[in-house]
Chains A and B, each alone.
Chain A
């Protein structure tokens, strides 16, 4: 009898992924399709980013995907990193950031093509699926 396949799609998230299995592994397939998705509780309507499989409010697990790439947010803060953890050396320097989309926030990186001078708190941004050199995926903020 064949061994049961373990779904390890989440290994593909980010430069180095520390997670392989998650109930929101479909996130990775959406990322492949150019979508950056959060989840919305179908019972109480709460939006979650990063996506959750379970709603802490109603304790339900009936959540629907929504595409955050369609929304426009505002940059809340950022930092350009000169040093990184082991495994991220080839990415340096890079800029991490938080953006506010109203009903949810997103933590990620700024698009490498953005000049330092162009990055400002309050700027309008879109989140965008991004392919990494090692074949993995993440998402970045681009000027809207």
Chain B
């Protein structure tokens, strides 16, 4: 079996409220990816549509999205793993191509979170866990990550200021990203002063500055077989490793509260498949829906020992000039987090870096890039390794 690669990536601007419909939003990321690939949509012989359906008014979004993108009568598949839906979509596309069933698959991630009111959205967020045993206590995503932040701080002496350093980095690069929701550069005073709005508590120990924003957005990744890439005369970025794992939804089933074992397991699989170790990774995109999530990602991916994440950010090792640049496109904290579109946006950033087309944030000659994309609080872990 030949290799599987990516020849096109695209995303819409991530915005608070997209002034159009779900399918029109999906078109934006798709158009950029198809043009980037230098193909026509007739070349695409299957599509995978990825979103979290609780935000959609549309029932079965894959059908209407495929129609609007001109992808009938090709088959279309709908996948959902909360915030990691489009990484799961990439894994599905990889499998479809690797098996020989298809040779050119579009992975379309889309989310219009503003489709429902914020009250409706909050009501749905409360149901992101086991609705029988946990939701009746009044849970929300920030509080779940806060439980992990609390345990991480207690076990390793991580401080709220260490988490603020992660947001500081995010805002430093977010200002450069034209497609990000949040483009203001922040300073440590804004992130730590008791008078600042950004230090208002959300769920202890997490504060406003530790949380990403909801957004509307779309992304698209065009996945092809080696033979198809040759016939199109395109030089792909190769998918070298795909890892995925799950974990208990109920926190009563977890052994660890200072890290996400599903992420560590997905990383182990992806490293093994790619035949590399954490040290070989030149650039990474990690799932920083909250600052603590990026801290745990450093440790789960092996960029730092458990508890060593704070030294990594204190030493600016995850900045562009550091030993392992992470989220130098601003991450979810600055870009915003349109659930189903997020993974595709992370993949786009890494593909652009590996091609040397990342502009202001281009690191020098990266060969291996990594994408870490998490659904829920480590309920779904996905790690993808890409290479030139």
Chain A residues engaging chain B, CB cutoff 8 angstroms:
10, 13-19, 22, 49-50, 76-88, 91, 94, 96-98, 104-109, 121-122, 138
Contacts and interface: CB of A to CB of B under 8 A. Distances in A.
B136 A18 contact: yes
A105 B154 CA distance: 19
B201 A13 contact: no
B204 A79 contact: yes
Interface of B: 119-120, 122-123, 125-127, 130-140, 142-143, 146-151, 154, 200-206, 250-254, 257
Given A85-B138, A121-B150, 11 more contacts: A14-B136, A15-B136, A16-B138, A18-B136, A50-B132, A50-B133, A50-B252, A77-B148, A85-B140, A87-B126, A122-B154
B143 A19 contact: no
Given A19-B131, A85-B123, A98-B257, A80 B204 contact: yes
A103 B148 CA distance: 21
Contact of A138 (B130, B136, B206): B136
5 contacts: A18-B132, A22-B132, A78-B150, A98-B257, A107-B137
Given A85-B126, A86-B122, A86-B123, A77 B257 contact: yes
Contact of B133 (A84, A107, A121): A107
B123 A108 contact: no
B255 to A, nearest CB: 9
A121 B139 contact: no
A50 B250 contact: yes
Given A49-B252, A50-B133, A81 B143 contact: yes
A104 B248 CA distance: 13
B136 A77 contact: no
Given A50-B132, A83-B203, A86-B119, A77 B147 contact: yes
Contacts of A96: 137-139, 143, 147
Contact of A91 (B127, B133, B138, B143): B138
Contact of A77 (B119, B127, B139, B151): B151
A104 B140 contact: no
Contacts of A97: 147
A98 B258 CA distance: 13
Nearest to B207: A82
Given A79-B203, A79-B204, A81-B203, A18 B252 contact: no
Nearest to B202: A82
A114 to B, nearest CB: 14
Contacts of B251: 98, 105, 107
A19 B129 CA distance: 13
A79 B151 CA distance: 10
B135 A18 contact: yes
A18 B151 contact: no
Contacts of B150: 77-79, 121
Contacts of A122: 154
A56 to B, nearest CB: 11
A14 B130 CA distance: 13
Contacts of A14: 135-138
A81 B257 CA distance: 18
B282 to A, nearest CB: 34
A99 to B, nearest CB: 9
Contacts of A76: 151, 257
B137 A109 contact: yes
Nearest to A84: B138
A81 B133 contact: no
Contacts of A85: 122-123, 125-126, 135, 138-140
Contacts of B125: 85
B138 A81 contact: yes
B134 A107 contact: yes
A23 to B, nearest CB: 11
A81 B5 CA distance: 44
Contacts of B134: 107
A80 B137 contact: no
B132 A19 contact: yes
Given A49-B252, A98-B257, A121-B151, A81 B140 contact: yes
A91 B201 CA distance: 17
